[in-house]
Amino acid sequence: MVSTLLAAWAIAYAAMVVVVASRRGARVRDRGVHGRRALIVRPCTGLRGGVVHAMATLPVCPPGMTLTWIGCVADADDPAWALVQRCAATLRGHGVDAHAMLTGARGPNRKAEQIAIVDDAHGGQGEVLVVIDADVDLATVDLRSLVSPLGGTRDDGRVVGASWAAPIERDADTPGDHMSRAVLGGSWHAFTVLARLDRSVIVGKALAVSRAALNRIGPLAELRHYLGEDFELGRRIEQAGFAVHASPSTVMSLATGRSVADVVERYTRWLWVVRAQRPLRLLGYPLLIAAAPLLIAGAIAIAPIAPVLAAGVGLSTLLARLAIATIAARAGRIPRISALDALRADALLLFAFACACRRRTVRWAEHTLRIDAEGRLEPTTEAPDDGARQSREQARREAVTAGVHRPQR
């Protein structure tokens, strides 16, 4: 019985690879970008690895499109405030309409609150709201591909209200960086792959939303109560009758210097969001997205009693997993990861899955948060740990000497 179930699982796993390989993104009759105005918001907190370089990168404005850049920080004592001010001045020197803004956001999701505050203050300057995370190289963002689908009609007849681009990572300085690059660029969790599995998925790393959709979904400030503000935004946009579109382009994250624990925490937060806001999808992680190590372990377990079946399950799983790594790498236009890195990435996701199922609180930007039964964030009274305090002090020291320049390509 166990052998039969394992074989069926392996067949289903391989079949899903065929589904992903054959699927393409939805077709959209886009509106182009000529005459469109976009408000680019870059929320920033602290000076994590890569942020100093990424915040200073210049946008590539398509002909006929008008941009306004707003870098925002919650508090003046945040080391990112001096950086954002310098970046705004540098961008203005390159002809970009750029501004720095203190928001006073208090959260619990400060990123979401900062976006809402900036849009309330400057939303009239753009019919399109574009949110780009602080560690993303803005020069790699294809604004034409991101903005032109908005207001266009998808192949299912719905008007596109939001468009997003999958993040990838190329540089890696630490073991944690290598693990993160393997997940984003070579696993089922690579967003280029997830977008083929689920057309409703949305990722807020590089995101554009039309003003028409924003006017229909209610105040953006309400998203501050959700850890996955992008998930909730996507749900509300589709509930309002609009479609979410995954751009075929990708954006480059310059995040570096992370420990393995940092990366585990990051994906635990992601799975925490899935658990709170898309609970049925959480089962997809052990059953599909991170299933390869479990299938191979199962093959090893039945090898003494069914060696031929075990060999078939193990070999088919490994080949299917390498196929996913190839699909993800080609979609992201990056080198394919090794079989060992692929299994390590899946093992990391399995561990993050276990953490998300077990824990009731999560660490995020030096704050400890919990999610209630409705998936809304609640701050706890726990104080930042010593590591967080040390990281903050280190960031403040770096702020004194941080320069503003474009990264070497």
Q: For a pLDDT cut of 90, what percent of the chain falls above it?
A: 71
Q: Given this model, what pLDDT does residue 383 score?
A: 41
Beta-bridged to residue 171, according to DSSP, are none
- What is the separation of C-alpha 377 from the centre of its chain, rounded to a whole number of angstroms? 19
Q: Given this model, what pLDDT does residue 385 score?
A: 42
pLDDT, tens digit, 9 for 90 and up, residues 17-34: 999 999 877 788 888 899
Amino acid at 91: L
Question: Which residues lie closer than 8 Å to 217 by C-beta, 6 or more apart?
Answer: 233, 236, 237, 239, 240
Q: Burial, 197: exposed, middle or buried (Cβ in 10 Å; 0-12, 13-18, 19+)?
A: middle
Q: How many angstroms separate the Cα of 258 from the Cα of each of 76, 143, 180, 263, 319?
A: 25, 28, 9, 7, 30
Q: What pTM was estimated for this model as a whole? A: 0.87
- How many CA atoms lie within 13 Å of 258's alpha carbon, on the beta-carbon side? 25
Q: Given this model, what pLDDT does residue 367 score?
A: 66
Mean pLDDT of 149-178: 92
Q: Given this model, what pLDDT does residue 60 score?
A: 93
pLDDT, tens digit, 9 for 90 and up, residues 82-134: 999 999 999 999 999 999 999 999 878 889 999 999 999 987 778 899 999 99
Q: How many angstroms separate the Cα of 82 from the Cα of each of 70, 96, 254, 257, 400?
A: 14, 19, 20, 21, 9
pLDDT, tens digit, 9 for 90 and up, residues 372-388: 666 677 766 544 444 44
Residue 43 has pLDDT above 70, yes or no: yes
More confident call, 276 vs 143: 143
Torsion sign, CA atoms 278, 279, 285, 289: negative
The full set of domain ranges for the chain reads 28-258
Q: Residue 158 in 3-state DSSP?
A: coil
Give the fold, CATH level 3, of 28-258: Spore Coat Polysaccharide Biosynthesis Protein SpsA; Chain A (3.90.550)
Q: How much is the mean pLDDT over the chain?
A: 88
Measured CA to CA, the distance from residue 326 to residue 332 in angstroms comes to 10
Q: For a pLDDT cut of 70, what percent of the chain falls above it?
A: 89
- What is the separation of C-alpha 358 from the centre of its chain, rounded to a whole number of angstroms? 23
pLDDT, tens digit, 9 for 90 and up, residues 46-96: 888 889 999 999 999 999 999 999 999 999 999 999 999 999 999 999 999
Instruction: State the Rg of the chain over Cα.
Output: 21
Question: Which residues lie closer than 8 Å to 287 by C-beta, 6 or more apart?
Answer: 9
pLDDT, tens digit, 9 for 90 and up, residues 191-228: 999 999 988 889 999 999 999 999 999 899 999 988 88
Residue 406 has pLDDT above 60, yes or no: no
